Amino acid sequence: MLVLIVIAIACFIAGVMAAAQWLPGLAEGPVGTMAFFVICGLCGAVIGLFGLGIDSMIKQAESFGRGEFEQVAVANGLLNILRDCGSVAAFALIAFLLAPRPSDQPDRIAAPDATDSP
């Protein structure tokens, strides 16, 4: 049980760090910041689920032993990984696509300087 917790936490942290490193820029402000943390959390959850699915698939394949049943266990494990991770990854992608971009923010008009007037 401890191994599963360590795998889940390690994969979650790796997913969050990777998303924070390579996620394209989002708009500044409360909405952009919240979207950034939601997307990073969902990406961490995807990688965490992937790690747990791999562990489950390996344990199931080991319990069946060699032969035809091992291939069935691997196929079922991959199907479960795709089903679990795919839905969470889709939520992360939807959140990313709906998040405001820096180009969506209007340019702020600066007040004219006193030195610019004649």
Q: Report how far residue 86's alpha carbon sits from residue 81's, in angstroms, rounded to the nearest whole number.
A: 8
Q: What's the pLDDT at 33?
A: 87
Domain range list for the chain: 2-100
Q: What's the pLDDT at 44?
A: 93
Task: Kindly report the three-state secondary structure assignment for every residue of the chain.
Answer: CHHHHHHHHHHHHHHHHHHHHHCCCCCCCHHHHHHHHHHHHHHHHHHHHHHHHHHHHHHHHHHHCCCHHHHHHHHHHHHHHHHHHHHHHHHHHHHHHHCCCHHHCCCCCCCCCCCCCC
Q: What's the pLDDT at 22?
A: 86
Longest dimension (CA), the chain: 89
Q: What is the pTM assigned to this prediction?
A: 0.77
Q: What's the pLDDT at 116?
A: 55
Mean pLDDT per 10-residue interval, the chain, length 118 residues? 88 90 82 89 93 90 78 88 94 91 65 57
